[in-house]
Amino acid sequence: MVEDSRGASTVVGVLLLVGVAVVVGGVVAVGALAFLDGIGAPTANADFTYEQTPAGLRMTPQAISTGVTVQLNGRDVATFDPDSAGQSVLLPTAPGDRITVVSRDGERSVLVDRTVDDRSEVGDFVAYYTFEAGSGDTLVDRSGNGNNGTLSDYDGGSGPQWTSDSLSFDGRNDYVDVTGLEAETDVEEFTVAVAFTQRSVGGTSQLVEHYGGGNEWYLETDTDGTDYTVDYAVNNEDGDIVNTGTRYPTGERQVVVGTFDGSTYELFVDGETVAEGTYDSDVEMGNLVVGADAPNADIQYLDGEIHEIRLYYTAFEGEEVGAITNAMG
């Protein structure tokens, strides 16, 4: 495993102490706090610490006076009870993510509401693409590394189309080209995660393929009839490819994750390990093609939608993969 050159920095502190009721001579004074629209006035308190990990922030309650639900971008990811002090949850944070903690009592008080906007609070990203509500012909890399992509069409057409939460590929000539990947450290291992919806069937469709130097890897679907399998390769020429075996129906959102630590690679679907193999190789930075075969982008077009892609320079295991899958699902 590669040593994280940045190291883990700990951001410790009380984020918000809310709803302190003081009874003096029969008079009750209640502390005020701005809260989300439609949520009751806070009457609970919460004290959390945050620690950066290669996958994002690990959040640990130090003291809470009521049961709470932790949300990441509005999606429930964990719950804590008043006796949960010292337990923790891994939040696979990315730039712009919103962390909210809401009490589970009848008042639904918001105890924490913060936006992640510092690189010291996110995971080990090489690239991060959300595909939501975009426009134009540029796919913006939200990791901060500048690995932007260009929406393209092999026949010179309009290319993939933006939707409210995805980029839609037509299965004929659409793709995205990302050249010259860069990371903030030497890359010796990686994790790639893709949330997508396969629309049609009938052949091989590339989700994402990397090429450069002697290092080629990809995630692709193999469609037949009304369903498909997923292939994950870390070296196509040497036949180092694993397959889900299980077939999945078209039209449903899926999250697939591939990891590689330089010698072992694993394929996950919806957070569960489905296949693994071994292959010794250095990891190199190169180029990505999304939605078509690399490097020429002239075959294996995807007919479907891609909702999110995450590329990390660390190989993750079960807990991290589960947290990433939950956030992307």
| Angstrom distance (rounded) from CA 194 to CA 66 | 36
Is residue 1 predicted with pLDDT exceeding 90? no
Q: Are residues 178 and 303 in the same domain?
A: yes
> In this structure, are 109 and 244 located in the same domain?
no
Q: Is the pLDDT of residue 284 over 70?
A: yes
Q: Are residues 113 and 150 in the same domain?
A: no
Q: What is the rounded radius of gyration, in angstroms, for the C-alpha atoms of the chain?
A: 22
Q: Are residues 115 and 142 in the same domain?
A: no
Burial of 5 (0-12, 13-18, 19+ CB in 10 A): exposed
Question: Domain span at residue 310?
Answer: 125-328
3-state SS assignment for residue 320: helix
158 vs 299, more confident:
299
Mark whether 144 and 107 lie in a shared domain: no
Residue 173 sits in the same domain as residue 229: yes
Banded model confidence at residue 24, pLDDT cuts 50, 70, 90: very low
At 13 the pLDDT is 35
d(CA 176, CA 297): 9
Residue 132's pLDDT is 80
Q: Are 137 and 261 found together in one domain?
A: yes
Domain end call among 121, 154, 169? 121
Instruction: Report the pLDDT value the prediction gives residue 43, as an integer from 0 to 100.
Output: 56
The tally of domains found in the chain comes to 2
Q: Single out the residue in 99, 121, 143 at which a domain terminates.
A: 121
- DSSP string for 164-209: SSSEEEESSSEEEEE-S---SS--S-EEEEEEEEE---SEEEEEEE
Rounded to the nearest integer, the mean pLDDT of the chain is 85
Tokens representing 15 are: 């984020």
| pLDDT tens profile 110-165 | 999 999 988 889 999 999 999 887 789 999 999 999 999 999 999 988 899 999 99
- Mean pLDDT computed over 9-37: 31
113 lies in the same domain as 143: no
Question: Which residues, 6+ apart, have CB-to-CB distance to 275 below 8 Å?
Answer: 232, 242, 243, 244, 245, 266, 267
Identify the pLDDT of residue 115: 95
Distance CA 180, CA 118 (A): 24
Q: Are residues 51 and 175 in the same domain?
A: no
Asked if 154 and 297 count as a contact pair (C-beta separation under 8 A), the reply is yes
* Distance, CA of 274 to chain centre: 19
**Given 88, 121, 154, which residue is the final one in a domain?**
121
In this structure, what CATH number is given to the domain that contains residue 147? 2.60.120.200
Looking at the structure, tell me whether residues 98 and 180 fall in a common domain: no
Give residue 63's pLDDT: 85
Both 22 and 171 in one domain: the answer is no
Confidence at residue 28, expressed as pLDDT on a 0 to 100 scale: 26
pLDDT (average), residues 89-99:
95
Residue 221 falls inside a structural domain: yes
Q: Is residue 20 over pLDDT 60?
A: no
Query: What are the tens digits of pLDDT across the range 156-215?
Result: 888 999 999 999 999 999 999 999 999 988 899 999 999 999 998 889 999 999 998 677
The answer to the question of residue 288 being in a domain is yes
Asked whether residue 165 falls in the same domain as residue 296, the answer is yes
Q: Is residue 4 part of a domain?
A: no
